[in-house]
Structure 1
Amino acid sequence: MSEPRPYDLITMGRIGVDLYPLQTGVPLSRVETFGKFLGGSAANVAVAAARLGRRAALISRTGADPFGDYLHQALRDFGVDDRWVTPVADYPTPLTFCELFPPDDFPLYFYRRPKAPDLEIRTAELDLDAVRATRILWVTGTGLCEEPSRAATLAALAARAKRGTTVFDLDWRPMFWGGEGGASGAGGATGPAARAAAHPHYAAALAHTTVAVGNADECEVATGEREPHAAAWALLDAGVELAVVKRGPEGVLAVHRDGTTVEVPPTAIDVLNGLGAGDAFGGALCHGLLAGWELERTLRYASAAGALVASRLACSAAMPAPGEVEALLAGAAEGERSP
């Protein structure tokens, strides 16, 4: 009997229900109607890759409740294997609300107390053979914020031992580490105590990582550097082969250990909800790495996928199909050629 085909991608980390307002420019206190969607960064990245034709699975946990049932069905509907998404009796499935103030203000409100089930991932329950075999393993910074998820994440990385491609999504959420607020934005402060708490765990994860992906805040937590080029080289010094620094309206920078440096401008789009763009970028980045594309092509494709999701309300349900990404890229190229 032949061995089962390895997954293209296994992601590990956050899952929950997104309850997003169906009105824009309205504070949460005045919103009357919401849409319900699968959410959580690790789940969204798996969905994004599955939409692009990749065989994807998720390692996570939900509450033993109707919202957990909904998430299992949503994963299956999106073509993501949910065999390693297991229930936790003690904690409810997390909810996340947001406010929509396009083009660049999307406050998030996480309901993950007393503890999120996805932080109850345990080392003993991991299928380490599958973790070793998958073509890409994707883990997140949030998975490091509490035990037993922290130990399980580091155990998966150690077992992987840099086989294939191992991606660390720096995924910095200060409130999960005792800090206040969300990502600080360029030039802001994310809170020294929260950064100090996270840094050694980020450093431990980077030692087992081949690709690191993050924005300025996330790079600062991981390396102490915010300036994109300095941050990229600091990530390389920490052990990765490829550093990808997301720069928001300034595009994306990637630096490979061999010295290859690529900078890609943002893909122009009318933004409705920017919250899922990074996860779409991540799934498309994995797609390009799996395809063996040149770095610039991979980044342009990932940027276009992120832009498409930013133009839509949902995160998971908004992940684009290959034809949509290619059409946007073709339109952008035509615009560049026009006088």
Structure 2
Amino acid sequence: MFDLITMGRCGVDIYPLQTGVSLVHVESFGKFLGGSPTNVAVAAARHGLRPAVVTAVGADPFGEWVRQAIRGFGVDDVFVGTVEGPPTPVTFCEIFPPDHFPIYFYRGEHPPDLRITPESLDLDAIRRTPVFWFTGTGLSQEPSRSAHAAALAARTAPSGWTVFDLDYRPMLWESREAAEREYRRALPHANVAVGNLDEVEIAVGTRDPEAAAQALLDAGMEVAIVKMGPDGVLARSGKEHVVAEPVQVEVVNGLGAGDAFGGAVCLGLVRGWSLERTVRFANAAGAHVAARLACAEAMPTTGEVLALLEGRPATTAGEAAPGPQSEVRP
């Protein structure tokens, strides 16, 4: 049995190895595992959890590389499908620290991870996992939308934590109104929601952190987590109200920090931590990744997060070997 199953995007991230310049002037790139829910699973594996990811790749070399990378990071690929026709998605970005990281998605009109069908799902595994993590992007097209509905229906009986990562990428939706509609349909099937100010506004119509957290609780969440950027994180449950300040690091690349945060949240849920402990730990996990170029390769171990929280040097003794990475030059 898995501790965690995530569902949604995967692909290849092509990150520039020169920062502070436009792609026009970049001379070399690194190839990394990409896709938010896939990297949440990687982050969870680094903490010793047993994760699997439900996604799909193209029948191409990048697809095979993604499978190898997933396995290399200790994530089970048993639920990773292969789709003939569309290529495995590739994503480029520009890196302008500390807070500007434009993303350019090359996903085509109907990428493999949005072609997951209800029939392809192991609903029993989804039903039994302690944490099921899904994202807003997976609701953007059929048949992925119906597959998510089937997965969420399997979670209707009390079966642990169902986390809705509000993950809103406007360029991947036909319209904002469509996203708002699908988010509000999905909310009643989750009991944890995680999102930044833009994303909670899509879900509940307000970007005021306190009002958004309350609206999420009113919608049935047991835990509402609102990421406020430089102002930290606001988290609410029926018993706890937490405002956690960000952990200060020199930011190299903010992309991937949210995935590290998500993997740490999953750890807290599985271990039964208090909301305050979970959020403060997740903040530090995100900061660890923000201080590095890569995403999946930079996901911290539990010891590295604790070291950052305690202000002491991290130790790498006994850590798992990093997963596949390669450098490509144009």
Same fold (TM over 0.5): yes
Distance across 2 between alignment mates of 1:274 and 1:25:
13
Structure 1 residues 70-81: aligned runs within 5 Å: 70-81=65-76
> For 1:125-152, what per-residue CA distance to the aligned partner results, in whole angstroms no more than 9, with x for missing partners?
1000000010100000000000000111
Q: Which amino acid aligns with 1:209?
A: A
TM-aligned CA deviation for residue 195 of structure 1: 2.3
Query: For each residue in 1:265-284, what CA deviation from the matched residue of structure 2 results, as whole angstroms up to 9, or x when unmatched?
Result: 00000000001000000000
Give the match for residue 113 of structure 1.
108
Partner Cα separation in structure 1 for residue 240 and residue 20 of structure 2:
42
- Give, in whole Å, the separation in 2 of the partners of 1:154 and 1:120: 14
Question: What secondary structure is seen at the aligned counterpart in 1 of 2:249?
Answer: coil
How do 1:251-270 and structure 2 match up within 5 A? 251-256=232-237, 258-270=238-250
CA distance in 1, matches of 2:216, 2:176: 16
Query: Which amino acid is the alignment partner of residue 68 of structure 1?
Result: G
Q: Map Cα deviations across residues 313-336 of structure 1 (whole Å, 9 max, x no partner).
A: 11111100111101001118xxxx
**In structure 2, which of residues 178, 181, 184 is the aligned counterpart of residue 197 of structure 1?**
178
Q: Report the equivalent of 1:272.
A: 252
AA at the equivalent of 1:226: R
The residue identity in structure 2 corresponding to 1:111 is Y
Please name the residue that 2:31 is paired with.
36
Distance in 1 (CA, whole Å) between partners of 2:265 and 2:221 is 16
Is 1:48 aligned to 2:43, yes or no?
yes
Partner of 1:8: 3
1:250 paired residue number = 231
Which one of the candidate residues 76, 94, 98 is aligned to 2:93? 98
Q: Distance in 2 between matches of 1:114 and 1:158?
A: 27
Alignment of 1:159 with 2:139, yes or no, is no
Instruction: Give distance in 1, aligned partners of 2:21 and 2:254.
Output: 16
Structure 1 position 259, deviation (Å): 4.1
Q: Deviations over 1:260-316 (max 9, x none)?
A: 211100000000000100000000011011111111111110000000000011111
DSSP 3-state at the match of 1:214? strand
Give the SS at the match of 1:266.
Answer: coil
**How does 1:220-299 map onto structure 2 within 5 Å?**
220-256=201-237, 258-299=238-279
Aligned mates of 1:145, 1:152 — CA distance in 2: 12
Q: Matches of residues 16-31 of structure 1 in structure 2 within 5 Å?
A: 16-31=11-26
Matched residues, number: 311
Partners in 2 of 1:199 and 1:239 — Cα distance?
17
- Superposition pairs for residues 54-69 of structure 1, below 5 Å? 54-69=49-64
Matched with 1:327 is 307
* CA distance, structure 1, for counterparts of residue 280 and residue 231 of structure 2: 13
Matched, 1:313 2:309: no
Amino acid at match of 2:213: A
* Structure 2 residue ranges without an equivalent (≥5): 313-330
Instruction: For 1:149 and 1:85, locate their aligned partners in 2 and report how far apart those are by CA, in whole Å.
Output: 14
Q: 1:89 aligns with which of 84, 88, 98?
A: 84
Letter in 2 for 1:239: G
Matched residue type, 2:31: K
Higher-RCO chain (CA-CA 8 Å, sequence separation at least 6): 2
Q: Distance in 1 between matches of 2:28 and 2:257?
A: 23
What per-residue deviation string (whole Å, max 9, x for no partner) do you get for residues 145-200 of structure 1? 0000011111101111152000000000001113xxxxxxxxxxxxxxx2211112
How far residue 114 of structure 1 moved from its aligned partner, in angstroms, is 2.8
1:299 aligned counterpart, secondary structure: helix
Stretches of structure 1 that go unaligned for 5 or more consecutive residues are 1-5, 179-193, 333-339
What is the SS of the residue equivalent to 2:142?
A: coil
Residue 311 of structure 2 aligns to a residue whose secondary structure is helix
1:128-143 → structure 2 map (5 Å cutoff): 128-143=123-138
Structure-2 separation of matches of 1:239 and 1:323: 34
Q: For residue 226 of structure 1, give the secondary structure of its aligned residue in structure 2.
A: coil
TM-score with structure 2 setting the length? 0.93
